Every structure is written in structure tokens, then in C-alpha cells.
Amino acid sequence: MKLDYRTELSTSQKRTTKLIVGTFFLLLSKKSFEDITVREICRASLIPHSTFYNYFDDKYDVFRWAFYKTFYEYYPEMDLVMNHYDNIDLAAERVCDFMDQHKGMLRKVAAHNPPNGALYQLLKEVATEIGQILARNCTRDKNFDFPYEVLFGTYINGFLEMFHQTFYQGKTYSREQIRNYMRDLYDV
């Protein structure tokens, strides 16, 4: 990523990234990720290509940065060392907060981007990367009988499965259900 999601942006940078990311997600709510081009993002956001490329490498980079930035805004504790249960509970709460606030947009994006498509694969990849950051931070100085990457890989897959069931299959989970499912599944 060209931009660091943890860095405070200038007012101009905030305005430009918000415009690019907002336009990108508006397009995602109307068509598939595969069909969106950088040219289209630039045209719809009324910014020159050179400006886009000052901030992002491509549409994958827009998604990756937006995901990291948003997750970090909802979960600034992401870089802190904490115990396993605090991490599970906090992550579940923050994911629920995000899904509650953006449910309409997420449903529209899901309608145009199937779970076997490029966007969903990118979502899985980026969620796994964030899971690895969380895993490192809550497993420091702890010994497990198995690689912690396995535990957090399945943890992230659990969140992705709930996302999939919510936005592709129309199931509903309460915050308490999600928190309890995650604790039960990952009682280590």
C-alpha cells in the first residue's frame, strides 16, 4: 500500500482518499469488482489519473487500504498486545459495529460481487492479513501446542463465514450470539 493506514492524513489527503474510496464503493454497490476500472473511478470521482496513482497503485490497493483504514478506525487496539479473550471480544464487537453501520451498502456490494468472485477473494486475503496482526499481538510470549496461525486462520474464517451467511444467505446473528460462538469455537 502506498498509504499507511495508521498515519494521520492531511485535510487534502483525507478529502481525496474519501472521494476515491467513496466512489469505489458506490461503484461496487452497482457492479462487480471485476468490471470496475481505475479510469472509471477517476471519471466518477472527477480526479485525474495522476492524483489517483499518487495515492493508490490500483483498485486492489484502494480496497486493501480502505479495509485496513476502516478496521483500524473501528479497532485502534489492533496493534496492542492483549490477551486472547479480550481480543476475541473486542474484534467481534468492532466487526458488528461496522456491519451494523454499513449493512445497506454491504448488501448492495454483495449483490453484485459473488462469494466466488475476485472481491470476496480479496476480502479473505486482507482479513487473513489483519488476523495475522491480531494473532501476533495476542500470542506474544505464549506457547501453544499448535501454530497460532492455524488458530487465527480459523478465527478469521469464522468471521468470514458469518459475513457470508449474513450478506449472501440472509441469516441474522445478534452480537451476543457472535461473541458466544467465537468464544466457544476458540476456547483455548
Question: What pLDDT score does 25 carry?
Answer: 94
- 28-52 residue pLDDT tens: 999 999 999 999 999 999 999 999 9
pLDDT band for position 163 (cuts 50, 70, 90) = confident
CA distance 109 to 177: 25
pTM over 0.75: yes
Which residue from 128, 79, 169, 163 is spatially nearest to 178, judged by alpha carbons? 163
What DSSP string describes 39-52? HHHHHHHT--HHHH
pLDDT greater than 60 at residue 188: no
- 173-186 residue pLDDT tens: 887 887 777 777 66
Query: Distance of CA 145 to CAs 1, 85, 133, 149, 163, Å?
Result: 34, 18, 20, 12, 29
- What is the rounded average pLDDT of the residues 109-117? 92
- 51-92 residue pLDDT tens: 999 999 999 999 999 988 988 887 777 666 665 556 667 777
Could you tell me which CATH class the domain 8-58 is placed in?
mainly alpha
Residue spans of the domains in the chain: they are 8-58, 75-185
Question: What pLDDT score does 41 carry?
Answer: 98
Average model confidence (pLDDT) across the chain: 85
